[in-house]
Chain A
Amino acid sequence: MSFDNAYEALVEPGTTDEAHWAFGTGFADQMTGVDRAVPSDADAGNLAAYCLMLADDALVFSQRLSEWCANSPELEEDVALANIALDLLGQARLLLARAAEVAPEVRPAAAPAHVPDEDALAYFRDERDFRNVRMVEQEIGDFAVTIARLLLFSSWRLALFQRLATSRDPVLAAVAAKGCKELAYHRDHAVQWTLRLGDGTDYSHERMRAGLARVWPFQPELFTPTPVELRLAEQGIAVDPADVRSEVDNVVDTVFGAAGLERPQLPELSPVAGHAGRDGIHTELMGYLLAEMQHLARSHPQAVW
């Protein structure tokens, strides 16, 4: 395209490359050429359940972060938070597709056949079938809550993905390798803002402290493994989240030290009869989040978008 006439873009010959519309031109699909075979010793149901956990964390957090668009404190922040939301949405799409690929039975029966797997899973599953941790479904909150949650979540997910990049499932390994670059940026963004808010004004320090207190009780759930994760971790396919605890603690303590913040002394949010987000037992906020996200797709199940 020449630099003089933007009309030329309108008359460029049509492309059959679908990614062209979604992500612009000149982007290579990083999943091209990745071996999609499931490791022979892996239980497909377990692998799909694990993909859904990682996918739903990203999808639901992305949904929350996108609420900042046109609402954030600075234009630059509208751009940055939208970017992070887009990265997570991209990770969710790959993982949802992988879940349905390895275990087609995870596709909800309510989804019409023409709906792509990723949308069948995102839009036609009921709340109980979502496997995300409860931290990500919490309301958007103020900017400090958002930064506190981004700091904890991205530090945790980056540590997880760095290990997952050597997973014996080649697709998980590829998704994780791609995700590491993104998550390193997300973590950096959260760290920079934690420093600014923690060591900015007295007022911002107090808001940041309150923001951390809001999300802190949800943090232990990040490190609590489910039986599925433990089984797959033993096979070198998944990562036991308990293994990343000390690394994440290190990151967070270092940042808190530099920002003049203290590790909140708050108890863990209790599960319900031993069940939490990974088991499909969510907080009340999750139903509203899904109602908003899913209503249009469900109102027109035969529609094509």
Chain B
Amino acid sequence: MTGEREADTLERDFQHTVDADQRIEPRDWMPDGYRRTLVRQIAQHAHSEIIGMQPEGNWITRAPSLRRKAILLAKVQDEAGHGLYLYAATETLGAAREDLTQKLLVGKQKYSSIFNYPTLTFADVGVIGWLVDGAAICNQVPLCRTSYGPYARAMIRICKEESFHQRQGYELLMTMMGGTDEQRAMVQDAVNRWWWPSLMMFGPPDDASPNTEQSMRWRIKRHTNDELRQKFVDMTVPQAEKLGVTLPDPELRWNAERGHYDFGAPDWDEFWQVVKGNGPCNAQRVAHRNRAHEEGAWVREAAAAYAEKRARGLDRLAQQQLATGGVA
């Protein structure tokens, strides 16, 4: 029974640390469920960064000015970097990047459903920056204070870069709105297509989100889905007004009593359809990742074989030097 008592103490100490808003670090004891939840959540975030490279990368070769091309290429590059930090954070929890990648490739782990929508015009690049990165920021800023140290620290850097992307997206839209009628129509069309999927990024409503309560107790999560969604709408409406676009929600209006905007419900049936794999681009995105991974296999194998040869060579050299009393 000593073991059980010990486990109780460990769990109590853990919750105490979390409640005191202190960080859990890789070598600290943590409940298995906490570790599993974190690995799942961080991996899903990493996968989202990697899959998210596709819809925006779609426009790199067609960007209509060299400055926009440079901005977009740098942004998509940042996303690869975010994926790398996040996979590294999961490795501090004992996960392996290779294993997580495999789970993404076979569809055992998810990524943000928003990336299963197509980017149809260059305005989509701006709207993704403004709305999708904006929603990501709302979700992620509280994660800078999440209870797991390596995740929190990765999120600080990621949030800074995401904020930058959001501004770049908004600036592109502002520029386009100051251009031709066709450009303004392009922006409005993109807003119409991305608004509801952006609201869905916060996940299902609180009463249909079974994991929220435990994640909040562990302080992995600090706000509910609906709280974050509201915050996003409140933040975005004035920006839409300044931009001169209409958000496609007839129920959207200021509620002075609540001090918040009221808004309509996203089409949750569509949300679940896309989550289940039936979105416009689910199959395409995963097939793309699989193809890139398979086509790169021989390169990764070559790098591993080369590294091993070098290591063996160095070992041999060291042994020779030991045998002859030579120095390196």
Contacts and interface: CB of A to CB of B under 8 A. Distances in A.
B248 interface: no
Judged by DSSP, the binding face of A is helix
Contacts of B144: 3-6
A196 to B, nearest CB: 4
A22 B75 CA distance: 10
A245 B207 CA distance: 71
Nearest to A1: B160
A119 B66 contact: yes
Contact of B160 (A9, A92, A118): A9
A85 B64 contact: no
Identify the 9 closest CB pairs spanning chains A and B, nearest first. A73-B296, A200-B302, A6-B159, A204-B302, A9-B163, A73-B299, A82-B77, A70-B53, A304-B179
Contacts of A197: 299, 302
A218 interface: no
Nearest to A206: B298
Nearest to A143: B299
Contact of B61 (A63, A76, A207, A300): A63
B16 to A, nearest CB: 23
Judged by DSSP, the binding face of B is helix
Given A69-B60, A86-B73, A300-B183, A93 B66 contact: yes
Nearest to A199: B306
Given A76-B84, A295-B62, A82 B71 contact: no
Query: What range describes how many residues of B lie at the interface?
Result: 35 or more
B70 A86 contact: yes
Contacts of B40: none
B142 to A, nearest CB: 10
Contacts, number: 191
A75 B305 CA distance: 19
Contacts of B62: 292-293, 295-296
Query: What range describes how many residues of A lie at the interface?
Result: 35 or more
Interface of A: 1, 3-7, 9-10, 21-24, 59, 63, 66-67, 69-79, 82-83, 85-86, 89-90, 92-93, 96, 116, 118-119, 122-123, 142-143, 195-197, 199-201, 203-204, 207, 292-293, 295-297, 300, 302-305
B175 A304 contact: yes
Given A72-B296, A79-B81, A143-B299, A10 B60 contact: no
A207 B295 CA distance: 12
A290 to B, nearest CB: 11
Nearest to B76: A69
Contacts of A7: 137, 141, 163
A123 B297 CA distance: 36
B34 to A, nearest CB: 23
5 contacts: A5-B141, A9-B163, A67-B61, A73-B300, A142-B295
A6 B156 contact: yes
B64 A303 contact: yes
Contacts of B305: 200-201, 204
B227 to A, nearest CB: 15
Most A Cβ at <10 Å: residue of B73, B76, B159, B299: B299
